[in-house]
Chains A and B, each alone.
Chain A
Amino acid sequence: MEKRPATVGTKEGLGAGIIGLGLLLGFLPSAAQKIADLDFVQSEPFGILTGAVFVMAVLTALAGLAVILAKFEDAEE
């Protein structure tokens, strides 16, 4: 039987995007400290992290909404 090449669609795209958001979230704590250490930045690491996490939370919620609304009927059969 001929083996069909692997393909990706909407489902995998959404998964990849969520992985990207997760990667960003993972780097934020150390980045917040490094940004706060810069000479011209007067913000505290906690404030930077709080703001960044809030924005990431909005994007993660958007990703969840996209998962709910996306149509996956084009999946391989």
Chain B
Amino acid sequence: MPSSSPGLESPPPAAAGRQKCCAGHPAQPAEEDNPHHLTVTDLGLKRGDRWLFRHMTWQVPRGKLIAVVGPSGVGKSSLLGCLAGMIPQTEGKVVYCCCHHCLHPPHAFQNRIGIIFQNYMLVPNNSVLNNVLCGRLGRYAWWQTLFGFRRRDRHDAIRILQDLGLGRYLHRWVSETSGGEQQRTAIARALLQEPEIFLADEPVSNLDTYLTGRVLGILRQQALHHRRTILCVLHNPDLVHRFADYVLSLDPMNPEGWHIRQVGRPPSAA
């Protein structure tokens, strides 16, 4: 979002525990007045000799759902990969601002980014419940999860799975479930993680109309009630208008032709 975008929420309360959770990371220059959750500056990604996007500069306020749209192959998943720190960008930088107003590069923010992968990234020969519990791995030291997860985590995972209609499949292997069930398992894993930012790559591509509304409704609730930011790749314009606050469009013909706009408002120049 351009910095001048209206309707931005007030910043979260001042960080009493900054030194506790963000030691070693520089404080944001604008301090507590800057409410932006994610700042992308001059971001560009080149694949082979082709730029997917370039000179991309925008900021995301907290608690908004941003739909990323564009035709297949334009670079939507690669953009999310850059934001997650999984794909190194060719130029520019990505900076996250945590609730304590400290700046973090993606690799230092990974346990606060929830990713719903396009191909789910689930372990096929493990149970649905165990796959979902993997969302909590970032909260524990390696030796704390050697012999399983805490009972509280298991209860949370079961509650989320029941919310998504997967209560009957808790102990079934992922490879024995359908594509839609696997997609909901991947969504449940991200929800259990309780991240600050969701990066969702086509999270409803395998779901029917009812479940699509339910999943996007849950993500919208995460944005509204928990002030989590959601970047979601969507293809259906109706869903974009129904659930998104902002739309980030990528242009297949022009890597610098991306633009971002508030839903229901005329597009602003990039």
A complexed with B:
no
**Residues of chain A at the chain B interface (Cβ within 8 Å):** none
**Residues of chain B at the chain A interface (Cβ within 8 Å):** none
